[in-house]
């Protein structure tokens, strides 16, 4: 017969839900996909599964169920991970759901103090390490593999918008920290104009060029817009010319 009483069941469940809700408050405040209710439900589900295994009286069952909970949350977290261009979104949200389930498992095991400590640690990571991450992103980084990389941006626009788009292209290149080394204009027979510009990229090429594409893609006169990296780096080309 199980030693878990109804009062213990209710207390552990309440603490598990409260821990998940506390984590979810920060996510809801940041307007993330998985907010207050999602994290609370994840913690509640993890708590209930482990409490059930404890209630049946099998000493090894809670440990096995907890391992199954970890696997199940992995599938749930995969649903909030999205690809956005060259970047991936939702990794922090998926990891947060995983932590909410862990808090629920701790609460179901009866270690309410550890569940509260773990919850506070998760919230502290979101609140304290976010500014630290932004500071690290602002530090200039040197990547020898990406230094001296040359890329070509291809753009097709309406001929009536050629002057405006060309000025906007040069302005967007400067705003994205890219240095144009050449510009080719090709007027097609179907009242469109093709612009091709070669730029020198000294940082992360994907990040810089995706920012450029995001800016220009909002213009209604642009019909086609894409970029690609050239095979020959600038430094190698200079050595060949010398």
- What 3-state DSSP class applies to 215? helix
Q: How far is CA 166 from CA 53, 163, 171, in A?
A: 67, 5, 9
Asked whether residue 144 is assigned to any structural domain, the reply reads: no
Q: Check whether residue 158 and residue 93 sit in a common domain.
A: no
Q: Please indicate, yes or no, if residue 101 is contained in any of the structural domains.
A: yes
Cβ neighbors of 83 (< 8 A, separation 6 or more) are 89
Decide if 220 is inside a domain: yes
Question: Can you give the CATH number for the domain in which 161 is found?
Answer: 3.30.70.260
Chain centre to alpha carbon of residue 9: 37
Q: What is the pLDDT of residues 76-133, one digit of tens each?
A: 777 777 765 555 677 888 888 889 999 999 898 888 999 999 999 999 998 888 888 7
Higher pLDDT, 22 or 220: 22
Between CA 14 and CA 35 the distance in angstroms is 18
Q: Is residue 27 part of a domain?
A: yes
Residue 157 DSSP SS3? strand
Same domain, 128 and 36: yes
Residue-wise pLDDT tens digits, 203-222: 667 777 887 788 888 888 88
Contact 223, 158 (CB under 8 A): yes
Instruction: List the domain range (segments joined by +) for residue 47.
Output: 6-138
Domain boundary among 138, 161, 184: 138
- pLDDT tens-digit map of 165-213: 888 888 888 777 777 887 888 887 778 888 888 887 766 677 778 877 8
Per-residue DSSP letters for 34-83?
Answer: S-HHHHHHHHHHHHHHHHHHHHTT-TTHHHHHHHHHHHHHHHHHHTT-EE
Within 13 Å, how many C-alpha atoms sit on residue 97's CB side? 26
Assess whether 110 and 159 both reside in one domain. no
Q: Model's pTM, two decimal places?
A: 0.53
129 in a structural domain: yes
131 and 61, same structural domain?
yes
């Amino acid at each position: 017969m199980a030693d878990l009483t109804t009062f213990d069941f209710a207390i552990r469940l309440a603490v598990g839900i409260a821990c998940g809700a506390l984590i979810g408050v920060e996510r809801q405040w940041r307007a993330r996909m998985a907010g207050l209710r999602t994290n609370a439900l994840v913690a509640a589900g993890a708590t209930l599964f482990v409490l059930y295994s404890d209630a049946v009286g099998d000493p090894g069952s809670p440990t096995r169920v907890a391992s199954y909970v970890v696997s199940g949350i992995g599938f749930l977290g995969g649903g909030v991970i999205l690809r956005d261009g060259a970047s991936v979104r939702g990794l922090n949200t998926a990891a947060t759901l995983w932590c909410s389930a862990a808090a629920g498992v701790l609460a179901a095991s009866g270690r309410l103090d550890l569940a509260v400590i773990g919850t506070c640690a998760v919230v502290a990571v979101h609140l304290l390490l976010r500014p630290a991450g932004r500071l690290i992103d602002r530090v200039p980084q040197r990547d020898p593999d990406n230094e001296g990389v040359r890329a070509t941006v291809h753009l097709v626009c309406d001929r009536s918008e050629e002057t405006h788009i060309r000025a906007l292209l040069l302005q967007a290149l400067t705003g994205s920290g890219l240095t144009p080394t050449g510009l080719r204009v090709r007027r097609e027979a179907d009242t469109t104009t093709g612009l091709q510009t070669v730029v020198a990229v000294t940082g992360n090429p994907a990040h810089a060029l995706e920012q450029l594409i995001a800016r220009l893609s909002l213009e209604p006169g642009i019909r086609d817009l894409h970029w690609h990296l050239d095979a020959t780096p600038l430094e190698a080309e200079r050595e060949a010319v010398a």
